[in-house]
């Protein structure tokens, strides 16, 4: 069965600083990988996804993530964080079972941005 | 497209009462997922459907929980009887089954007193 580990529960960065959120996955085949963001009181919004091809994927809000098969990682990055990026971030790995698919989510990383 | 629609957005009820949460998925997205989110347990998958058929309900915590999808445009999650430990935010999500990417609704915040 697939699994996702987000080792950092809480991260604090200063506005304008760079950001990297870590994600490690376990899956026996080529994974489908996702990053979602959840603002307080909101649902989860898809930031970006990796299915195949270029291992560096661009997402919304200036985020990017790099798939590294050798490290089983899919870390999320942003060169300059804005105060509005404060939220909880979830990494997820997808798997297909027959004609259905489901996601396994990590436990999330809460990002705090200081001014 | 309006996205995934959930109702009600907030529900406060008393222990022992029946609670029904509703979800309208995105048209053409034939997989539907129910999740529960709490501080203690994070985001948990309760059940998911493909083409209106339940595929995996192993995440449903107890027999008090049941879910139905009578057609492609509507699903319900029912708790009967409700208990205070059921207090959580319940999310519905939809996807095209072959693409994995899921689109989430805004959630229903359930409080059981």
Residues A28-72: tens digit of each pLDDT: 777 889 999 999 888 999 999 998 888 999 999 999 999 999 999
Residues A68-106: tens digit of each pLDDT: 999 999 999 999 999 999 999 999 998 766 656 778 899
- Averaged in consecutive runs of 10 residues, what is the pLDDT profile of chain B (113 residues)? 91 97 94 93 91 91 94 96 97 81 94 97
CB-CB under 8 Å, A105 with B43: yes
Structure confidence at residue A97 (pLDDT): 63
> Secondary structure of B24-38 in the HEC alphabet?
ECCCCCCEEEEEEEE
Instruction: Give the CA-trace dihedral at A28, B43, B47, A48, to 10 degrees.
Output: -60
Residue B31 touches chain A, beta carbons under 8 Å: yes
Separation in Å, CA A103 to CA A20, A41, B18, B74, B83: 22, 21, 29, 21, 28
Q: Chain centroid to CA A78: how far?
A: 11
CB-CB under 8 Å, A90 with B43: yes
Distance between CA atoms of residues B34 and B48, nearest Å? 6
- Which region holds residue B28: left if phi is over 0, alpha if psi is between -120 and 50, else beta? left
Structure confidence at residue A54 (pLDDT): 87
Structure confidence at residue A99 (pLDDT): 56
pLDDT at A12 over 70: yes
């Amino acid at each position: 069965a697939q699994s996702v580990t987000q080792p950092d529960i809480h991260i604090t960065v200063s506005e304008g600083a760079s950001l990297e959120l870590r994600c490690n996955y376990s899956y026996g085949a080529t994974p489908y990988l996702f990053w979602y963001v959840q603002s307080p009181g909101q649902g989860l919004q898809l930031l970006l996804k990796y299915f195949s091809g270029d291992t560096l994927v661009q997402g919304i809000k200036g985020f990017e993530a790099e798939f590294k098969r050798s490290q089983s990682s899919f870390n999320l990055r942003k060169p300059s964080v804005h105060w509005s990026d404060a939220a909880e971030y979830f990494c997820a790995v997808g798997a297909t079972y027959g004609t259905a698919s489901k996601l396994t989510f990590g436990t999330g990383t809460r990002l705090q941005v200081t001014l | 497209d309006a996205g995934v629609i959930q109702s009600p957005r907030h529900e406060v009820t008393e222990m022992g009462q029946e609670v029904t949460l509703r979800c309208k998925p995105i048209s053409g997205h034939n997989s539907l997922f129910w999740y529960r989110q709490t501080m203690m347990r994070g985001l948990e998958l309760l059940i998911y459907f493909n083409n209106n058929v339940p595929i995996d309900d192993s995440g449903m915590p107890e027999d008090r929980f049941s879910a139905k999808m009578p057609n492609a445009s509507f699903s319900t999650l029912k708790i009967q009887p409700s208990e205070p430990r059921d207090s959580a935010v319940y999310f519905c999500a939809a996807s095209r089954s072959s693409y994995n990417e899921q689109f989430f609704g805004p959630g229903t915040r359930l409080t059981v007193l």
